[in-house]
Structure formats: C-alpha cells, structure tokens
Structure 1
Amino acid sequence: MKSLNNQVQSVSQLLAITQLAIPGYQRPYRWSAKNIADLFSDLATRQEKSAYRLGSVVFHQHTDTKRGETLDIVDGQQRTLTLMLTVKALIEVLDDESRSGKDKATRFQRQDLRQQLAALRTPIDAFMARQCFPSRDSELNLRRNYLELRRLVARPEFDEQQIDFLLNRCQVVCFVLQDISEAFQFFDSQNARGRDLAPHDLLKAFHLREFAEHEASLKAEAVAHWERLPSDELANLFAHYLYRVRQWAEGKSARYFGKSEVDLFKGVNLDQVGHFPYVEALRIAHHFVDEYNSQYQRKIDGQCMAFPFHLDQMIINGRRFFEMAEYYQKRVAAIVSEESDSARGQAATLLGEALTLQASKVLRTLGSYERRHRTGDRYVRAMFDCALIFYIDKFGSQGLSLAIEKCFIWAYRCRIRQRAVQLATMDNYVLEHNLIRAIRDARLPGDLHGCTLPSMSKQENKNNHNGTEDELVELFREMKYYE
C-alpha cells in the first residue's frame, strides 16, 4: 500500500485498487452532464500526448473493522467515480456486442484492451456492491451519468485509440496518508491553504493548461502582469466588471461570481477547435495580430497592434485570456481613476475627450455627494460604471458626454426610487431596465442617445433624508428628469 503514495497511476491502475471506499463524510456526487462532456472533449483533443494528468487523488489509509484495510478517498471522489462509471459502461457495451454476435465487427479488436476491461470488472463490481451512498442525490446523479456514459462510449467515434488513451495514458497522482487529520490538512493545502480557490485562480489554472505547445516559452510573460496584481484586484475586476457586463448584456442575472460561473470565461482553443464559421473571425484576428507584430518593420517603426478585445466576445483560451485580463485591468482602472479625477474639476476630460459641463458635473457629483459610501450607493455606482465601461469598450470616446448623462439617469433612478438598494435590487433593476443590453444592440452611438429614459416624480422619491432632497435629486431636476 505504501508504494502507492506519491505515485503516478493510470486510470486502469487506479480502478484496479481493491480497497477503494467513499467515506460517509464526503459530499454527494454532483458531477453533471457538462462535466462529462468536458472530460470526453479532453479525451478527444489530448490524444497526441504521451500522458495526460487528470489531477490528484488523496487517500486516507486505515483499517476498518468490517472491511480490513481501506483507502478512503478524501479528495478526488467526483473524478474517480466518473472514471469508474465510464469503464463500467465500456464493459457493459462490450458484453452487449458479444451477446449480439458482433464479435468480429466490434470496436474491441485489441486483445489487450479486452483483457484490461475484463480484469477491471471484478474490482469495479465489488466496489459498487459494498459502497453505500447515503445521499439520494448521489444515487440519482450516478444513475443519470451512467446512462449518459453508456450512450457516449457506444458511439463509433469512441474508438480503441480513445479507450487505450483513457485506460493507459490518462493518469492521476496518488497520495496516501495514515492520519485523518493529516489527510484533511493535505487536502486543504492543495486547495489554497484551507480556502476554496478563488474563481480567478481556477481560470488561471485552466488557461495555463490551454497554452499551445509552441507558445510554452510565452507563459511566463503572459502571466507576469497577472502575478503582479493583488488577488483582491483580480477578484474585483472579474466579479464587479467583466462578469456583470457579460451577463447583463445577455439579459442574465449577475449577482455572484463564484466557481460555478467560471465557464463564462472559457472559450475556444484555436489549435484544437474545428474550422467552424463562428470561429473564423477570431482565428483571422489572432493570426493577423501576431503576424503584424512579428514583421521586421515593427523593429523600425516601433508600433505594436493590440488584439481587438471586446467585453462580450468569445474568449480565446490560453495566451489571449491573460492578455485580455491585463487589457481590461488597465482599461477599467484608467476609466475609474479618470472619473475620480474629473470629480475634482469644473471641466473634465475622460480618455482624452473634453467633457461637456453637464457631464463634468455628473462625475463631480458622483465623487462628492454625501451618502455615496453607503452599500446601496456603491451598488448603483457599479451599475453606472459597468454601463459606461461597456459603452467606451464599444464606441470609444465618441458621444461620451451624452453617454455619461444617460448612464447616470439610468443607474441613479434606481437609487432615488428605493429606500434601500441591495444586491438583488441592483440585479433586478438592470434586468428590468437593461441599458447595458441596449448598448450591446446599438450600431452607432446615436442609437443609444435615442433611447428614451423616463423622468421621475416627487412621489417616486423613496430616498429622501429627513424630508430633504440630496444632490442627486437636484441634478435630476437640473437635467429635466425630475418633476
């Protein structure tokens, strides 16, 4: 048993372990059809590799009074169970083909694969017979996923090459620990020292794996800016700006950016995705930018072309993701900083564009009104910033002053109408009065400026402070949006 510790094991070797067990304290089995689809996509696209790591499995070795020596899976349960279901489905498909007399035409021509699957039947059946899953969710998910896996492995494209890759070249790193507290401590250390990995950390790990092999030398350069930024700045960039804009532009809720939402920032790997029409514009831009920047003329004129990122575009996995994060971190920081600077002057500029007196006054008011630091006011300011950043991302500085006015009236109408603004209030308001989606659908700046916003009456004002009107209401009245 000790020989298993700190060892790399193939899937076939892992599933042949006869002491595997899922302890009662484990969370329910929750892998979804999407997780399975991602696994099979990996199998299809990574077959050129001599070995492919699926992660690690942490075991707690102990002696059970009924079962003897046992290896409890402390970390890696979801992956291990799914692999077990996949191999069990393969065994069942082999049985079905044998019973139907398809032996000569079957995909299982290789005798070594037949023998491997036959050898795995006993330990897998024994595990299924002895393992108890106290959660009803686990039982339902296992059954549902097994049926889906049977459909997938029965497809002709899941051929002997993929079966061999799954069994013999897909690997896990095994760790065997003797003490349960030590096992949990190890598990915690593998997961950001006792805390769940932040969503942006998960994205970093994913996109590092997505680097093209010929770009391996660029990894350090691509993540250098990322590594220099404090974790809370990256968390703020994704949760408060990138996630909200992308979701709201699609008319979807954007309250919390957690681990289950990271797929929003996973897109296409241009070296692996097929030549589908929807990818071609990205592929052209990707290669053209690289070709332009590599020409010898750039050594003379010193020019460098940035990739044309847009907040709501398809993500290009790998290097372009890190470039995108750096681009928007700098872009958002510059806009927010210039907004703050503009709040201190009579006339202002933003991104080099001279603003009208009215737009300057909006920014000055937002940076100075008395109750701007309340939680609800911060939510409303986030709405304003997201809308303005999205506008600038699409139209640049053209029509910027009118855009500032529009975004202000749209966002702060929510503040004036509500006694209290909570996260749900902000999210619901955006979805009901979605200026961000209107920006997405606009073809010209004038399309947005032609978007009519309703004025307010005194009766709608629920945010009076001791019966007095604040600077926001005064500005609404001055702009003819308050009656």
Structure 2
Amino acid sequence: MESINNQVLSVSQLLAIKQLAIPDYQRPYRWGAKNISDLFTDLATHRDKSAYRLGSVVFHQHADIGETLDIVDGQQRTLTLMLTVKALIEVLDEESRSVKERATRFQRQDLRQQLAALKVPIHDFMAREHFSSRDSELNLRRNYLELRRLVARPEFDEQQIDFLLNRCQVVCFVLRDISEAFQFFDSQNARGRDLAPHDLLKAFHLREFAEHEASLKAEAVAHWERLPSDELANLFALYLYRVRQWAEGKSARYFGKGEVDLFKGVNLDRVGHFPYVESLRITHHFVDEYNSQYQRKIDGQRMVFPFHLDQMIINGRRFFEMAEYYQKRVAAIVAKESGPVQGQSVTLLGEALTPMACKVLSTLSSYERRHRTGDRYVRAMFDCALIFYIDKFGSQGLSLAIEKCFIWAYRCRIRQQVVQLATMDNYVLEHNLIRAIRDARLPGDLHGFPLPSMSRQENKNNRNGSEDELVGLFREMKYYE
C-alpha cells in the first residue's frame, strides 16, 4: 500500500482504504445529532471552496497483519463520514429504481461511479468491525437513520456530494510503533485531547473570517496567543459565559465544550438579510467605513465596535475584537475594585465614587475571610453584576450600582454557612439582578429591584454571634437589623 503518512486525502480516498480498523482500546462512538448537524452546516457553508479541511486522522500501521491501519485518532469523524457515504449509496440504489428520481438527481456519472467504488470497502469495514459498546451501536444506528434523512433531501444535491467526496479533506499521519501509538492515544485522550473551550472558539472563528480579511488573521491570532491561556479561560468562564447565561435566566455553573455555541453567532457575509441581523450589519460596516476614511489620518480618531455582553456574536474578526475588548475592560474594572484602601477616594471610568462605594470596594479587597471558596463565588457574582452594569450604562449612577451589587451578592454570603457553586447559581436565578440590568432602560430602573433588609437570625456566616466587616457594612447601609 502506498504510504499515506503526512498526506492530504479526500473523503473518497480515505474511505477507499481497505485496511481501516478500529482498535480495541478505542473509546465508544459518541457523536450525536448535534455533531451531525454541525457537519452538514459546514458542508453547506463551505461548499464553494476549492478545498475544506475536516481535521486529521492518525493511524497505527501493523507490519504483521496485512498492513492494517488502526484509527488512533479521528474515529468519530471517520465513522460519521463512512455512515454518510453509506447512506448516500443506499439512497442512490433506491433512486436508481425510480425513473422520475433518476431524472432529477445523480446525473453526473463520475459521482455515481465514485459511490459505487466505495460500496465494497465500506461494506467490508462494517462487516468485520464489531463494536463491543452498546452506546456505539445505538449511536451508529441513530446517526445512520438521521444521515439517510439528510442525504435524501433535495438540497443535498450533486454539488454538495462532489464537495463532500472530493474537496473535503483530512490530513493523515501514520505511526508504525505500537508503543508510540499507545503513547499518542493516552496523551490525546487520558491527558486531555480536547482543546479548552476558548481554543475551540478560536479555531471556529478563524474559519469564519471573510476572505478579504485574511490579512487580519495573523494579527488576531498574535494577540490571542499573547494572552495567558488561564486568563482567557477565566474571561469566558467567570465573566462572559455567566453574564450571558444569567441574563437569560439560565444556569451558568460550568463553561465547557458543550457551551461554546453560546459564542457562535452570525457570519454577516453568509447570513441572509433577515431583519434581526440588519442592525448588526449596519453597525459593522459603518464602523469599518468610519475608520477607513482619510479624515482619521488627520484627526487620529478611531471608533471601536459598540460591543455589549448580551448581544448577538458576529463571527470571525469581530469575535476576536470582542474578546480583546472585554479582556482589557474586565481586567481594568477588577483591578480598580481590588486596589483601594480604607478611606482612599476612588475614580472608576472617570467617575469619582461616593465614600460608601469606596468603602464597599476597600472592604471587599481586605476583609479577612475573602479567600474562602464560597467568598470567591460571591465575589464573582458581584463582579459579573457590576461589569454588566458598566457595560450597559457606563459610569452613570455607578456608586449606587456598586452598593446595590454588594447588597445583592453578599446577602447570599451572610445568609449561608457554606456557599458552593450551586448555591451561587441558584441564588442568582432566584434573585436575578443580572436579568434586571438587562431589562433596565435607565440606571434608575434598578432602584426598584427588591433588596430586603436582613435580621440577626438570618446570619449563618457568623456563627459565634460576632459581626464581621461585611455585616458591619450591611448595618451601616441600613440593610441589617
């Protein structure tokens, strides 16, 4: 067999390999309806490209078993592609028996011949592979039925089929040493094969760049790579994800792979002219037009895209601009919150804060038990609420907002002996100041958000009867009786 190591193969070439096999140590087949939907969305979106990379497939080649190629990495994708082509072949066979259907689809003989040539290797692969996992069998069956429905639809036409078979590609790597194969499998799976959620978003949005913006990709990647991975992870998990979820009244405990779609929006070059998109489209092009005018070379002005934490994401370049914008903004706000000392005046976003707002910030950055896990959860609530308020109203009414956010968040701390992640999440959903900020039209609208006073009997945080700095602030602000 001709070596395929470091080779780029089309889907048709990949599935024509007769030596493919699934090793016993592989994980079960897990792809579901969401993965199938994403695959077909990609096929429809990129069908006009001359080539489209689906990823890589890593094999281990046996020297003593007829050059069998075990799929070490890329099993989910390869099996799904195989099911897709198998479904196509079956649809082709059925439609070949219908003169009417044959007159409208599969007119290209080269595609018919390609599919016919793949029938035997796919059939042989399915016949010799035995999946010990019940989950694998169920998922294979469900996905095959779904794929049959999808490829039978009229919009999955010859152009789509040609794109799938001949222009969708994978990069192949072949390992020849079994110990090397096991080491690779372990490192990619047991030690975290999956990219971090923010890295998955990076890969997605790089593909979403408009063709005329290709030169800007390097700049976007360079800035992204300059940021520590932990800082990016915290930006999305602790702030952006939580604000967007809580603003919708939804739980926001964990930001993982399954939640990245929250940061996938619209590609303005591909989405239709739907009414809901037009405000984004107008703003997008106006900002670019303003910044490109010759007057900017004279006055030195530059307009930043008016991002909002709860707005629809614009895919591609604007996503990277959004991440950079909020990384700087959140870092600046959190740094200001953590900086003041008792009695020191504070200016935030050019706004001189009231003595009480200054006292709140200095207390939060200095009280004795602030480093406990539960206290960090509560501080995250406070930060998210204040960041969202500033994102919407700027510095208008900022001192009062700081006081409101403090009473709202730390009421949870004082009332609970133990604050866990679920405690924080449930509290926000039951007393949702984040959503109230989203719905507010004016800063003053938040004055009506209910913040009842607390009694000594509700204080579960100070079990010995003493009052810490937090309770002292509540009492001073007339929220503790």
User: TM-score by structure 1 length?
Assistant: 0.96
Contact map agreement 1:21 1:127 (CA 8 A) in 2: yes
Q: Does the aligned pair in 2 maintain the 1:245–1:311 contact within 8 Å?
A: yes
Aligned to 1:177: 175
Deviation digits for residues 435-455 of structure 1, max 9, x if unmatched? 111111111111112212122
Q: 1:132-168: CA deviations, max 9, x gaps?
A: 1111111111111111111111111111111011001
What does 1:246-325 align with in structure 2 at a 5 Å threshold? 246-325=244-323
- Looking at structure 1, the residues matched to 44 and 257 of structure 2 have their Cα atoms a distance apart, in angstroms, of 25
Displacement of 1:184: 4.2
Moved more, 337-346 or 160-169: 337-346
Preserved CA contact (<8 Å) 1:28 1:138: yes
2:56 equivalent in structure 1: 56
Across the aligned residues of Structure 1 and Structure 2, the Cα RMSD in angstroms comes to: 1.8
1:191-240 deviation line (CA, Å, top 9, x unaligned): 99965422112211221121111111111222332222111111111111
Which piece of structure 1 moves more, 464-473 or 405-414? 464-473
In 1, distance between residues paired with 2:55 and 2:61? Answer: 19
Structure 1 unaligned segments of length 5 or more: list them. none
Give 1:56 deviation, angstroms.
0.5
Match of 1:148 among 130, 146, 149: 146
Deviation of 1:189 after TM superposition, in Å, equals 7.2
Check the 8 A contact 1:391/1:439 in 2, yes or no: yes
Cα-to-partner distance string for 1:397-445 (whole Å, 9 max, x where unaligned) = 1111111111101100110011111111111111111111111111111
Does 1:220 find its partner at 2:218? Answer: yes
Q: In the alignment, is the contact (CA less than 8 A) between 2:342 and 2:359 conserved in 1?
A: no
Distance 2:363 2:45 in 1: 54
| C-alpha contact 2:15 2:122 (8 A) present in aligned 1 | yes
Distance 1:475 1:237, change over 3 A: same
1:79-118 paired onto structure 2 within 5 Å: 79-102=77-100, 104-118=102-116
- For residues 85 and 115 of structure 2, what CA distance do their matches in structure 1 show? 7
Residue by residue over 1:42-63, the C-alpha shift from the partner in whole angstroms, topping out at 9 and shown as x without a partner, is: 1112122111111110011126
Match of 2:99, SS? coil
Matched-pair contact (CA < 8 Å) for 2:407–2:474? yes
SS in 2 for 1:3: coil
User: What residue is the counterpart of 1:471 in the other structure?
Assistant: 469
- Residue by residue over 1:363-392, the C-alpha shift from the partner in whole angstroms, topping out at 9 and shown as x without a partner, is 111111111111111110000000000000
**Which of residues 409, 412, 415 in structure 1 aligns to 2:413?**
415
Is the CA contact (8 Å cut-off) linking 1:371 and 1:377 kept in structure 2? yes
Runs of 4+ in 1 over 6 A off after TM superposition: 188-194
One-letter amino acid of the counterpart of residue 379, structure 1 = Y
1:138-217 to structure 2, matched below 5 A, reads 138-186=136-184, 196-217=194-215
How far 1:247 moved relative to its partner?
A: 1.1
Secondary structure at 1:439's aligned position in 2? helix
Separation in structure 2 between the aligned mates of residue 362 and residue 332 of structure 1, nearest angstrom: 18
Contact 1:88 1:121 in 2 (8 A): yes
CA distance in 1, matches of 2:335, 2:162: 55
CA distance in 1, matches of 2:174, 2:12: 18
| Aligned twin of 1:446 | 444
Per the TM alignment, residue 188 of structure 1 is displaced from its structure 2 partner at its CA by 6.8
Question: Judging changes above 3 Å, is the alpha-carbon distance between structure 1 residues 276 and 446 closer, same or farther for their aligned structure 2 residues?
Answer: same
Q: Is the 8 A contact 1:362 1:408 kept in 2?
A: yes
Counterpart position of 1:360: 358
User: How far does residue 278 in structure 1 lie from its aligned partner after superposition?
Assistant: 1.5
Are the counterparts in 2 of residues 342 and 349 from structure 1 also a CA contact under 8 Å? no
CA contact (8 A) 1:46 1:52 kept: yes
- Output one character per residue of 1:256-295: Cα deviation in whole Å (capped at 9) or x when no partner: 1122221211111111222222211111111110000000
Q: Find the residue that maps to 1:256 and give its secondary structure.
A: coil
TM-superposed CA distance for 1:341, in Å, is 2.5
Q: Is the 8 A contact 1:355 1:401 kept in 2?
A: yes
> Partner of 1:338 in structure 2?
336
Instruction: Identify which range, 297-306 or 34-43, moves more after superposition.
Output: 34-43
Q: Distance in 1 between matches of 2:287 and 2:338?
A: 34
* Contact 2:342–2:363 (Cα < 8 Å) also in 1: no
Instruction: Label 1:293 to 1:431 Cα distance change in 2 as closer, same or farther (>3 A).
Output: same
CA distance in 1, matches of 2:82, 2:373: 48
State the 1:14 CA deviation: 0.6
2:34 corresponding residue in structure 1: 34
Aligned AA (2:46): R
The answer to whether the Cα contact below 8 Å between 1:267 and 1:317 also exists between their aligned partners in 2 is yes
Residues 468 and 124 (structure 1), Cα distance of their counterparts in 2 relative to 1, 3 Å cut:
same
Gaps of 5+ in 2: none
Counterpart for residue 347 of structure 2: 349
CA shift, 1:190, in A, is 7.2
Structure 1 residues 374-393: aligned runs within 5 Å: 374-393=372-391
Structure 1: distance between partners of 2:333 and 2:157: 53
Contact 2:63/2:176 (8 A) holds in 1: no
Q: How far has the Cα of 1:101 moved from its partner?
A: 3.3
Residue 126 of structure 1 is aligned with which of 99, 124, 131?
124
- CA deviations 1:324-381 (Å, max 9, x no partner) are 0110011001111111223454332211111112111111111111111111111100
- Cα distance in 2 for partners of 1:282, 1:184 equals 49
Which residue does 2:370 correspond to in 1?
Answer: 372
The question of whether the paired residues in 1 share the 8 Å contact of 2:96 and 2:102 is answered with: no
Alpha-carbon distance between aligned partners in 2 of 1:341 and 1:4, rounded to the nearest angstrom: 58
TM-score, normalization: structure 2?
A: 0.96
Per the alignment, do residues 461 and 193 of structure 1 end up closer, same or farther by CA in structure 2, a change over 3 Å counting?
Answer: closer
